[in-house]
Amino acid sequence: MNVDPRNAVDTPFEVHNLVQQARRVHGQQDELGAESSATAHNSEDQASFEQQLNDLDIDDLDSAYPTPPSLCLAANSATATSSSAPGEAASEPGSCPAPSFVSARAQLAATLTGANLEVLRNEIDLAVQQAARWSPASAPSIDRDGVFDDVVRSSYVTLRRFQNQNSDCKPHTDENTSAILHVRNTARDHSSIGDHPERYPIDRARQAGWHMRGKTTTSPFVSLVEDPAKLAVSRDHWARAIANNANALHTYTVPKHSVWTPDDVMSSIALRMNAEDYDNIDADVDLMCSLGRTPTKETERLFLGGNLESYRTGREENPYKRESNE
């Protein structure tokens, strides 16, 4: 369920091609007719997405956004998939077939803008409308649900959180910083391509580690779990108390790149610990030992960002709540 950056970025930055491809396709579409594009481009959501896409600095993406190689190859295989049937318009050189364009836009929405599921589905609908303007009339319809399901499966993870109020999902610090901004800031601060310590920098890893050990008052993280049933029977009495006393159980479907796991934290600290760093080495050793004693069956996951509420996809009464006399 978690994102392992050591496996996520196997080919350096197909996402560069994907962003440039998306921009190039939009330019081609504009040339096909400004009048036909008025409806799609007047959408506030579309305008917001376009602005985020145009604002991206390609050089800042090198450590941040893994994109499936197959998607990028499809998006750049224009000549191989151009129509040659009589009466059908051939694709312009460098353009991509409509299904690949829609998939690429959806993947960009998930990874580059951190879209929630509602925005993701809306972006797919808008991309289908755009693609229809330059696709052959005989082209088969695009499976919107299939694109949506593929992107959710590859780029999102579903987690649960015990809460009393809907608003009980804010971190104690950086509560106004979105998850995607944290990811972009990391990309700007570090230049390595997909290197594990760069994607999970040591200072942030320490914050995550101490959060997992209960020091949350200065933390930018929010705790969730993959399996709430395991938290309800945890050996950690604080964790068990949360599961047994909260009023509700909330479900969140969040971008994978905003989630930290215990393995991510421990790997980053272990790879960056330095015996000559006298100010931190003892604390790092203590933290690693402490994390090593943390039960793993609770499947705790940390969300880095202040906008967890925008990813809520469900809420139910807490089925693990115990009455006060139990």
Each domain of the chain, given as residue ranges in start order, spans: 157-317
The whole-angstrom separation of Cα 173 and Cα 34 is 45
C-beta atoms surrounding 22 within 10 Å:
21
pLDDT by 10s per residue, the chain, length 326: 333 333 333 333 344 455 555 555 455 444 444 444 434 444 555 566 566 655 555 444 443 444 333 333 434 433 333 333 444 444 443 456 889 999 999 999 999 899 999 999 999 999 999 999 888 888 889 999 999 999 999 999 999 999 999 999 999 999 999 999 888 877 666 554 444 445 667 788 888 888 888 888 889 999 999 999 998 888 888 888 999 999 999 999 999 999 998 888 888 877 777 766 767 887 877 777 777 666 556 688 999 999 999 999 999 999 999 876 45
Residue 212 Cα distances to 175, 198, 301, angstroms: 18, 21, 9
Listed in order, strand segments (DSSP E) in the chain are: 156-163, 221-225, 248-255, 259-260, 300-304, 312-317
Residues 6+ apart with CB under 8 A from 246: 162, 163, 164, 318, 321
Question: What pLDDT is attached to residue 275?
Answer: 60
The whole-angstrom separation of Cα 250 and Cα 156 is 16
Q: How many helices (H) and strands (E) does the chain have?
A: 16, 6
User: 220: which DSSP letter?
Assistant: S
Residue 100 Cα distances to 48, 124, 183, angstroms: 22, 11, 26
Question: What pLDDT is attached to residue 76?
Answer: 43
Strand 300-304 relative to strand 221-225, pairing = antiparallel
By residue count, the chain amounts to: 326
What is this structure's pTM? 0.71
Question: What pLDDT is attached to residue 203?
Answer: 83
Question: What pLDDT is attached to residue 52?
Answer: 60
Question: What pLDDT is attached to residue 41?
Answer: 42
Question: What pLDDT is attached to residue 315?
Answer: 97
Q: Which strands sit side by side in the sheet containing 248-255, from one edge to the other?
A: 259-260, 300-304, 221-225, 156-163, 248-255, 312-317
Question: What pLDDT is attached to residue 39?
Answer: 41
Question: What pLDDT is attached to residue 252?
Answer: 98
